[in-house]
Structure 1
Amino acid sequence: MNTQQDLSKAFLYPALITVSILLIPLIAMQFSENVIWTVSDFIFAGLLILSCSLTYTLVTKKTTTVAYRVATGFALLTGLFLIWSNLAVGLIGSEDNEFNLLYFLVIGVGVMGAFIAKFKASGLKYTLFAMAAAQFIITIVALFTGMAEVPDSSVYEILAVNGFFITLFVVAGMLFQYAADEEKSNLSADFD
């Protein structure tokens, strides 16, 4: 019975967060003709936010360090923002440009790396640095394959948008480095 209550509680907060965030565009649609969401937009956004929130809840459930919680939240929000902006407007040209599918490789690197690292901060720092490297490689490929010539895209935009995400992934990696150092110092303090 206690396990069922724990699962219900673990699901409750992410569900409340998801509903709260989805209320923003729902309310905005009532007052502005510029905000146009379909039912499928709400469903997809809800699933994306809920999965991100649930992942945070499950991954940080057993940790006691604030640094690990902050690093995890920062990394998940960065990944969520990458997916969201890529699907909404596209990072190269419009959201319909097939080149944008490459950005899902960055998320794939993160998911695989997290499991390989067993969600430990010392391994997750390398995962986030690998995600930044993957984003960098995609940027270079975009520039050398003429993606700057695509409508709604330029060299400056490609460098700025990708540089922004690369920076966020590097910062998340540094936060995990800090969390790993904090865990190590807590462990050594326990042995003293």
Structure 2
Amino acid sequence: MTQKQKTLAIYALPLVLLCIPLLGNILSDEVNWSASDFLIAGILLFSMAFLINLVRTRIKTQSRRILICIFILIALALIWIELAVGIFGTPFAGN
């Protein structure tokens, strides 16, 4: 796999992930995402993809690269969970 293909795959993954709730919105009444929900999710997912691509191209050591990417994914998960259900009780917490 070339570098260009890897970069394309990294940036295509957020689009694929955003298609899941979009299909849920279209096909079911159970999923109720607004445009702002898609915007926030897109910003989070594309920021994660950008940071992972940046780490992939700038960090030379494989172990550091993996460690930083895991940290990025954990940070994304914590922010996502906080926005969804509010585990920390911030003003941005969901219901």
**TM-score bin, normalised by smaller chain:** 0.7 to 0.9
Q: 1:40 to 1:10 in 2, by over 3 A?
A: farther
Alignment of 1:39-50 (within 5 A): 39-50=35-46
The aligned counterpart of 1:69 is: 65
| Alignment-mate amino acid for residue 41 of structure 2 | A
| 1:170-192 deviation line (CA, Å, top 9, x unaligned) | xxxxxxxxxxxxxxxxxxxxxxx
RMSD, matched Cα: 2.6
Instruction: Give me the identity figure in percent.
Output: 31
| TM-score, normalization by structure 2 | 0.76
Structure 1 residue 10: deviation in Å? 8.3
Q: Higher helix share goes to which structure?
A: 1
Alignment of 1:64-143 (within 5 A): 64-92=60-88, 99-101=89-91
| 1:44-81 deviation line (CA, Å, top 9, x unaligned) | 10011101110111122133433223212211111001
Structure 1 residue runs of 4+, over 6 Å off? 8-11
| Alignment-mate amino acid for residue 100 of structure 1 | T
| 1:98-124 deviation line (CA, Å, top 9, x unaligned) | x425xxxxxxxxxxxxxxxxxxxxxxx
Name structure 2 gaps, 5 residues minimum. none
How many residues end up aligned between the 2 structures? 90
Structure 1 residue 35: deviation in Å? 1.1
Does the CA-based 8 Å contact 2:25-2:32 persist in structure 1?
yes
Matched residues in 2 for 1:66 and 1:28: separation?
A: 37
| TM-score, normalization by structure 1 | 0.41
Structure 1 residue 12: deviation in Å? 3.7
Name structure 1 gaps, 5 residues minimum. 1-5, 93-98, 102-151, 153-192
Structure 1 residue 32: deviation in Å? 2.5
Structure 1 residue 86: deviation in Å? 0.6
- Which protein has greater RCO, CA pairs closer than 8 Å, 6+ apart? 1
Does the CA-based 8 Å contact 1:22-1:46 persist in structure 2?
yes
Does the CA-based 8 Å contact 2:52-2:69 persist in structure 1?
yes
